[in-house]
Structure 1
Amino acid sequence: MASEKLFRYIPPFPDDVPTTPMHVISLQRLRSADTTASKEVMNACQELGFFLLDLRGDELGETVIGEVDALFEVGQKILNLPDDVKEKYLNDAPKSFLGFKPRGQAKTETNEPDRFEWFNLGQDGLLGNTNPQPLPPLINSHNSLFTSFLQHGQTIVSTIASTLATQLGLPADTFTALQAPHKPSGTVIRIIKAFASPDVKDLRTSMIHHTDFGTITLLANVLGGLQILAPGKLPTDDAAWSWVKPQPGCLIVNLGDAMVQWSGGLLRSNVHRINYAPGLQRLVDRYSLAILVRPERNASMKRLVGEPVEGEEDGEGLSAWEWEVKKAMALTKGEAVMQSKGGKAAANI
């Protein structure tokens, strides 16, 4: 997450809205193989599939905080480029999600146009796994910063993945071997802008509820707006949604469907969405920075432990790319059921 200084220039997060209780786990303790921290990660990834990772006090973490501060400034400039410039780099979904996604291209649960845009930078191009994607000069001039942030983020992802594998009784490299950064994948850095909501008509969902396809997501926010669905509840229940309060120096971490698949449902991917920001924060455009990690394209999606996940493609015989295409096509055709997957039963949380 960004440093304390970026939180000084935004309206305060209100005290009168429901917030999601989340584990706060120290990266320093996790990287030192602290037993308690390792168990906390496992509990968080079975209960909610989300936790806050405190980067402060760790050398790598402090470096990432500085990179996030710099990239928030760069990201705002990128997403505030003229539309005719950004539209030269449009994505080609579902064939490719790299590049610019304009506001209103997707729909919300009420079939209204979405209220966000993003720019996706592919890991493969940044790390030389494939030819670089076409990029605006503004991004190209900061390639070294994006690449450094990605590499440091992948180190953090590796730490989390190794911890979870060990907690599940698997070899420590079980998950890291399936998402190696030097092999082609759908992993991206995503810069997101959710637009301010000054009018009553804007007080609605910006991005529809969903679970992430991939393995692990690292998210940096300053403004609120991210909401998590309570386990065991339906997305149509307004009371079941609560806000995540961003914390200085902390990344928001969540698991995706691939980790649920590999773990046979022992780990959890939880439904979430972007809503309007709470309180006076709704008057300000909301910028986010994320690393969305996916398995390498040829990784097997075979279950490694646990039992088949009800309602999920088993993955037997499928590569990660084939598995992701099936999920993307189901989503595009409206056949996908947006529900949380895996983890502990709601009654046991």
Structure 2
Amino acid sequence: MAATTETVSLPYVQAPETSESLDWADLVTLDLAKFDQPGGKQELAEEFSRSIEEVGFFYLKNHGLSKEDIDTQFAIGKSVLSLTDEEKLPFRAALEAGDYNGWKPAGTRDLIPGVKDNFEIYNIPKFIPEHANRPHPEIVKEYIETIERFSKHIHEQIVKKLLVIFSIALGLDDEEWFLKKHRYEKTSGDHLRYMKYYKRTEEENEKLGGVWLKGHSDMGSLTLLFRQPVAALQVLAKDGTWKWVRPQTDAITVNIADALQFLTNGYLKSSIHRVVAPPKDQAHIDRLGVLYMVRIEDDTELLPIEESPVLRERGLLGQETLSSDGRPVTAGEWVKQRIIKNLANTSTDKGDNEETEVEIFKGVKVKYYD
């Protein structure tokens, strides 16, 4: 197959939203413009505390990134994932070793016998010396400074503010408690992600029951999803039903992930979500996404935060999650083993909403939902 050179086409044009009536999740929107106002951090912490009582998903507005900033990343992502497999192959992620950086091809695992996954990914790790010599396709190298500015803005102007809000919500005296465990210069799995779900045939959707990626939690601290107008993301609500997550104009969708659940013994819920076939008026569209995955430092022991009066009042201390050898799981171990297990994990014959427990690391398990 001859290699082709893809270029970035701007302005990027998003697909139109669905006109179908869907059962949308009712999610809280946090306004980061409040953060530097008198009492603003405390107000945001209260709003955040209310939002996590439901599903661990929320929206974030006034994040400091323009539509042009975000659309440029979609355009770069489209170009990267439009390269031929031959061009992307030298940058394939070492998935079998638990490394997700680089290219993950579509079809790496069976969802059910005869039907493989339909999404591919290109992950760009954070810009620190240990990743300085990582190779990338030419299109990424051409725009690497733009990508770096975008990624660092997310960490400095969005993630750090959220981490302070979380510390306040947990009643911690040290507002920088979470910041000190998410230092940009330290080793962790933070990365910017370009992700594409390819459209499926009606026959494939029927075989899968319309579920493209079964219910799961994310493995880090937070996932930030930039506006995705093709409806396909669903979250498992408190009442056990699946709700659609509506794309919000000028807002980022954020969900809590595993590390924060471990650190708070479930007070911060690692939200269960899945990807399903889009509505009929969007079924013909490949679903391109831009995400940022926030991960706590690799050497962090995932134990409940003893200093939190909020956890103490709720009886959430003294219930540590330990591996079968009696020691705490570290964040780096958890992420690595979840990546490896994901390669082998397939759907079960259980019905919709039913749980499947999968052992990830030395007796510590995670739940999946069909």
Q: Calculate the TM-score normalised by the size of structure 1.
A: 0.83
**Corresponding residue of 2:297:** 296
Give, in angstroms, the shift of residue 202 of structure 1.
3.5
CA distance in 2, matches of 1:111, 1:18: 31
Q: Is the 8 A contact 1:114 1:205 kept in 2?
A: no
Q: Is the 8 A contact 2:304 2:320 kept in 1?
A: no
CA distance in 1, matches of 2:260, 2:214: 22
Q: Is the 8 A contact 2:260 2:268 kept in 1?
A: yes
Q: Is the 8 A contact 2:164 2:175 kept in 1?
A: yes
Question: Residues 137, 332 of structure 1: CA spacing in aligned structure 2 closer, same or farther, 3 A cutoff?
Answer: closer
Give, in angstroms, the shift of residue 278 of structure 1.
2.0
Equivalent position amino acid for 1:213 in 2 = M
Is 1:222–2:250 an aligned residue pair? no
CA distance in 2, matches of 1:175, 1:300: 13
**Corresponding residue of 2:31:** 26
**Corresponding residue of 1:268:** 269
- Per-residue Cα deviation, 1:36-71 (whole angstroms, up to 9, x for no partner): 33211122234211001112xxxxx34354321111
**Corresponding residue of 1:119:** 122
TM alignment of 1:105-254, pairs within 5 A: 105-108=108-111, 112-123=115-126, 126-155=127-156, 156-170=158-172, 171-197=174-200, 199-202=202-205, 204-220=210-226, 221-231=228-238, 233=240, 240-254=241-255
Question: Residues 276, 102 of structure 1: CA spacing in aligned structure 2 closer, same or farther, 3 A cutoff?
Answer: same
Give, in angstroms, the shift of residue 137 of structure 1.
0.7
Give, in angstroms, the shift of residue 136 of structure 1.
0.3
- Per-residue Cα deviation, 1:220-255 (whole angstroms, up to 9, x for no partner): 12322111112353xxxxxx2221110110100011
**Corresponding residue of 1:40:** 47
Question: Residues 40, 15 of structure 1: CA spacing in aligned structure 2 closer, same or farther, 3 A cutoff?
Answer: farther
Question: Residues 279, 37 of structure 1: CA spacing in aligned structure 2 closer, same or farther, 3 A cutoff?
Answer: farther
CA distance in 2, matches of 1:327, 1:116: 18
SS at 1:339's partner residue?
Answer: strand
CA distance in 1, matches of 2:123, 2:52: 26
Q: 1:82 aligns with which of 73, 81, 84?
A: 84
Give, in angstroms, the shift of residue 339 of structure 1.
3.5
> Where in structure 2 are there 5+ consecutive unaligned residues?
1-10, 346-357, 360-364
* Residue identity (%): 23
Question: Residues 74, 168 of structure 1: CA spacing in aligned structure 2 closer, same or farther, 3 A cutoff?
Answer: same
SS at 1:206's partner residue?
Answer: strand
- Per-residue Cα deviation, 1:264-309 (whole angstroms, up to 9, x for no partner): 2211111111212223122111111111011112223232143269
**Corresponding residue of 2:367:** 339
Equivalent position amino acid for 2:222 in 1 = I
- Per-residue Cα deviation, 1:119-138 (whole angstroms, up to 9, x for no partner): 01111xx2334433211010
Q: Is the 8 A contact 2:303 2:320 kept in 1?
A: no
SS at 1:283's partner residue?
Answer: coil
CA distance in 1, matches of 2:108, 2:22: 30
Q: Is the 8 A contact 1:14 1:279 kept in 2?
A: no
Q: Is the 8 A contact 1:104 1:115 kept in 2?
A: yes
Structure of greater Rg: 2
Q: Calculate the TM-score normalised by the size of structure 2.
A: 0.79
CA distance in 1, matches of 2:215, 2:320: 18
**Corresponding residue of 2:281:** 280
Give, in angstroms, the shift of residue 177 of structure 1.
0.8
SS at 1:259's partner residue?
Answer: helix
**Corresponding residue of 1:343:** none
Q: Is the 8 A contact 1:270 1:339 kept in 2?
A: no
> Where in structure 1 are there 5+ consecutive unaligned residues?
56-60, 234-239, 341-349
SS at 1:108's partner residue?
Answer: strand
Report the more deviating stretch, 271-280 or 104-113. 104-113
CA distance in 2, matches of 1:144, 1:135: 13
**Corresponding residue of 1:346:** none
- Per-residue Cα deviation, 1:61-83 (whole angstroms, up to 9, x for no partner): 34354321111111111111111
